[in-house]
Structure 1
């Protein structure tokens, strides 16, 4: 189960056995003593490995397009296949780790991640690369929840909060570090080096897990909601597939509308199933609570805009502005100059003006940043990019903390694991949807706005229509027209992100207008608690 041994049995004498096989003081009941610092280092290396993979490959998209001749749609899939599988399997994979052993889940997940990363450098096919990114997503889904539940199940109570704080810092910084590290690697090597780094990190984390991480599990926990997991994965898969493929088939094409319809029907079916099963992955009744719903919507749409923006801006900086991979990575760092200080002071701001005002202000700043970015052209000065990135980072820093607090404060102590799981699921799912939707808007507009001179051979026209990464190597005038069309698509994509965060700001303002969460009913708490262990992949984030 995801709540730690000490939390599950606070009155158990030190050294006594708890249901998950740990001593009440947080140490393993049998075997060698636990080296907590080593456990923390190993789990954070594993966490950084899978989180950085969500963003690191964005820097390599231009070179991937050149080597594999991937279309803009295929580039979206190369990035989003990982995020989609990661998000879709997060809850069931976390529940499996809790039930059958977190150390085992870490080792299996790192093995899968490392094997997929080891195979990727040897492929030159976009389709094969997409498949391998799915494999990496499966490994990541097993790794991420096991890292935090290992910490909370291993550390003694007095050291647990500090350890979780380190975990959260690594989770937040790894995406930016991944972009910067990839930029450095690409200065000397090809995009394949990004996967080689993944192999090294996964191997180091697996070795450390084998050597230092004790095992813990809850074999008597509730059975896994297999039906709910299958329905949710199928529904999300159909939805994201249809969105990414829409530029190829047309937004009003039969394939797109059919796929979207199937996705919606499956997700509605998931809600219906979760309402009637005894041990749900996620109880939909929780979303009737205004604060819980507001926090979830805010986190989901913040990361929708963030990961979608990273996907688009990295291609713009390299293919339109002509920056190197390293310069492109460094160019987005000012966003962290706003995010980190704002996240640190957000609790004080929320205490002074209220969580509602703080969160809405942050979402408005994100919206403003996206609007500014939508005005960038081919020859825009860097200060205009800076004027969009800094308020975007500042807004995320202000909005994330009160959104997370709204989720956790709306639930009783017994359901804090569920709240943490929803918080992190919202982040990963928001990123997957953001890449799919904004990438699809970019691709559709690029295709529609690309107008090449009649003198350009038809074979080159088709190549140029596939993506800017391919068109950039066709020479003039195809490359120039392609850059113009890409910038048009970028404008539409960023405005789409701005609309999403503006909707989030309005939703949060309306949902939190009362300023206090409603009480949890006994029936609601009892039903949610039945599925808490299966749903709570994370605890204490």
Structure 2
């Protein structure tokens, strides 16, 4: 047992905090980054989707290989390298001169984050004895919840006082502090018999996902999903992902062991995690434009408005096991998915003058639903596989969460974009032909053109708000439909109420999988 284990836990939480914090900070900065220079970068909606997804796709694609490299080279070395890369990527992102640069530097940040996330948990398991691991992992998981909660508020405070790049630059001093403490405190460790890296699998998965997401985002941008470019890209993405599955099945050292998916319970639980994040990330994306562009709230006020979502998760996630013990996994998760579907559908009723407390209730109930899905499905994932597979089950859960989120932003973002263009198109006929296409891509693009036109542009503001609300309603109903599919999956495939002794098993792995 390491004598400085609790101090080491603090350092690991600090390194994990910035990785999680950065994504939740970015949520409230989306609208500012879409504002024309010098306030923002003038990023289009598709560029904003890529700024989020370039990080997520690299992170998800490299998660397994990063864990194996840590086992092989030493977790401390990999953790230090990952943090350094994340810090450099953050500094470069803060100074981006164009949306394309921001997308590239966000990918660099995703590369660093992929090496930080698995290494923190591996070091934690190494310095704590088995009897203390559940408590340590519980604290570690609490840190993730805290980061999700304080991220939007931190982002709002920074944007109220500094330029948009401050939401990335804030990572740099935290990285430097974490690196210094880690060199001093954290011991190195490695796996005596590490697994082999699967470079072909990594390349196929990342290329397949990027092609698929590119096609979906391009379809939304053009408001035409039958365009040859869109069909070619999505088709190629699906073919490459199919090749990935075939290769992984035949490989003797796969990134993802496809035999896991032969277990229907495991497949259902991991699919639901992806579906939940598909819906959540898509909603977060459009709700920021609703609160800031339509309702006129500042980034800080938006961050505070999103607090109920995080607060509900922090309140109910630790207690979800009690509900499962009483009603069973199937009943708990099915009810929770129905709640999420209902809350997404409720977004379709929001207008420009809807009392804001209704949005707060929607966020709180959505967070409550998520808490009662993530914890029970994490138990199922861990109990469906042998104990020695806990690490890869946790990584797989994380990967599906990231991929689900990336596809949610791509698909729901594209639905939002296409619906908005359809609704605003006939209001843009008075604009010069060259400006018309750009002005129709998003509410921020329309408002940007309106601002440049001066008094004449004021006539565009009200139609832009109406078109956005229409697009948000359509997108919310799509998200709700995805959540209904999730409810059907858990109702059909997850186990019913278990005997009491089984419900107590594998606490440590449960929280590990949840994060």
CA offsets 1:226-251 (integer angstroms, 9 cap, x no match)? 22122111111211121122223421
CA offsets 1:81-107 (integer angstroms, 9 cap, x no match)? 111211121111121112111111111
Q: Which residue of structure 2 lines up, in the alignment, with residue 273 of structure 1?
A: 247
Q: 2:464 aligns with which of 470, 477, 482?
A: 482
CA offsets 1:322-374 (integer angstroms, 9 cap, x no match)? 00111111112122343333323211111111110001111111111100012
Q: 2:130 aligns with which of 132, 150, 157?
A: 157
Inter-partner Cα distance in structure 2 for 1:79 and 1:253: 24
Q: 1:447 aligns with which of 414, 421, 439?
A: 421
Q: 1:247 to 1:539 in 2, by over 3 A?
A: closer
Pairwise mapping of residues 50-449 of structure 1 onto structure 2 (< 5 A)?
50-66=19-35, 67-218=40-191, 220-249=193-222, 250-449=224-423
Q: How far 1:78 moved relative to its partner?
A: 1.4
Stretch deviating more after TM superposition (394-403 or 409-418): 409-418
Q: How far 1:126 moved relative to its partner?
A: 0.7
Query: When the two structures are superposed, what TM-score results if normalisation uses the length of structure 1?
Result: 0.87
- Say if 2:374 and 2:514, in contact at 8 Å, map to a contact too: no
Q: How far 1:382 moved relative to its partner?
A: 0.9
Q: 1:459 to 1:47 in 2, by over 3 A?
A: same
Inter-partner Cα distance in structure 1 for 2:514 and 2:268: 20
Inter-partner Cα distance in structure 2 for 1:83 and 1:156: 33
CA offsets 1:12-44 (integer angstroms, 9 cap, x no match)? xxxxxxxxxxxxx4x4xxxxxx52122111111
Inter-partner Cα distance in structure 1 for 2:475 and 2:68: 36
Determine which structure has the larger helix proportion and give its number.
2
Q: 1:254 to 1:463 in 2, by over 3 A?
A: closer
Q: How far 1:109 moved relative to its partner?
A: 1.0
After TM superposition, what 4+ stretches of structure 1 lie above 6 angstroms from structure 2?
Answer: 514-517
- Say if 2:215 and 2:233, in contact at 8 Å, map to a contact too: yes
Q: How far 1:461 moved relative to its partner?
A: 3.0
CA offsets 1:371-403 (integer angstroms, 9 cap, x no match)? 001221222221331342222111111111111
Query: When the two structures are superposed, what TM-score results if normalisation uses the length of structure 2?
Result: 0.91
Inter-partner Cα distance in structure 2 for 1:454 and 1:271: 48
Q: Which residue of structure 2 lines up, in the alignment, with residue 499 of structure 1?
A: 481
Inter-partner Cα distance in structure 1 for 2:476 and 2:419: 12
Q: 1:39 to 1:514 in 2, by over 3 A?
A: closer
Q: 1:513 to 1:355 in 2, by over 3 A?
A: closer
Q: 2:15 aligns with which of 46, 49, 55?
A: 46
Q: 1:514 to 1:38 in 2, by over 3 A?
A: closer
Structure 2 counterpart SS, 1:368? helix
- Say if 1:456 and 1:478, in contact at 8 Å, map to a contact too: no
- Say if 1:294 and 1:406, in contact at 8 Å, map to a contact too: no
Stretch deviating more after TM superposition (272-281 or 469-478): 469-478
Structure 2 counterpart SS, 1:221? coil
Inter-partner Cα distance in structure 2 for 1:456 and 1:240: 31
Q: 1:511 to 1:460 in 2, by over 3 A?
A: same
Structure 1 spans left out of the alignment, 5+ residues: 1-24, 28-33, 518-537
